[in-house]
Amino acid sequence: MGKNKLKKFSEMETFDRVFQYPFALLTDGKCPIKGKWHSDVFKNDNPIVLELGCGKGEYTVGMARRFPDKNFIGIDIKGARMWTGAKEMNRDNITNAAFLRTDIELLQAFFEPGEVSEIWITFPDPQMKKERKRLTSTRFLDLYKKVMVNNGIVHLKTDSPFLYTYTRLLAEHNNIPTIHLTDNLYGAPAGQFDDILGIKTFYEQQWLSRGLTIKYIAFPLAHNSELEEPPVEIEPDTYRSFSRGELQCPDLCSPKVTPKSCKS
């Protein structure tokens, strides 16, 4: 491990509201902050919002600045990236933000049922070949239900036509109403998304500078919903086999969808 990473890990140990726990502690079910985010971490009863795969933490910090009546927790397994947002949070004393270094699959080890109000998923790997690894798959949505309030909101921002189409079709197939739905966030009518347009992650700025459109979908997640995968095959984002910023197939902004039952 490089000296720079070690330095960042060491510095994060000194930051307020940055949490890193050994796996052994979690398997014993003794995580000290589970169920205590309101009382011990944020010291208020404001809604808790998670950003999954937060990367450098720009979105977590940006939302915390814009929405002081909510608490935001950035979650990622890569601490060296998280250091950027955690340092800004600590430097500017942003008390309604926190960071948690862990795998997304371990959410239940850190949050009680109903402790989370919203989840943001910002520019994840679309996992085109691995359905179970997509962060908007039924597997993960069922996990989110275990820590969220009933009808808590899931937000997805992505540059991937594949993941956007997959998530939209999953919502349609399961009769989940969408609160927001656009395949061109920055081309939407003025005023429609003003509350989030001002926050751009490092990767989002890269995609925009290279001509990619940003897609956004938000929907409620009911506890009693029994979710099924949409019975379709979606054309992959072929440009992702090259540099992520190089748009090889612009027509994929309206990807072809084929019923799985019709697949040869």
| Residue 28 CB-density burial (10 A; 0-12 exposed, 13-18 middle, 19+ buried) | exposed
Amino acid code (one letter) for 91: R
Distance, CA of 116 to CA of 50 (rounded, Å):
7
**Bridge partners of residue 50, in order along the sequence:** 73, 119
The tokens describing 172, both together, are 């349609």
**Bridge partners of residue 233, in order along the sequence:** 258
Active-site annotation holder among 40, 45, 92, 125: 125
Instruction: Write the CB contacts of 94 (distance below 8 Å, at least 6 apart in sequence).
Output: 61, 64, 65, 88
- The yes-or-no answer on residue 125 being catalytic is yes
The tokens describing 13, both together, are 């140990």
C-alpha triplet 238, 81, 91: angle, nearest 5°: 140
Distance, CA of 230 to CA of 253 (rounded, Å):
19
In the three-class reduction of DSSP (H, G, I as helix; E, B as strand; rest coil), residue 195 is classed as: helix
Which residues form the catalytic set? 125
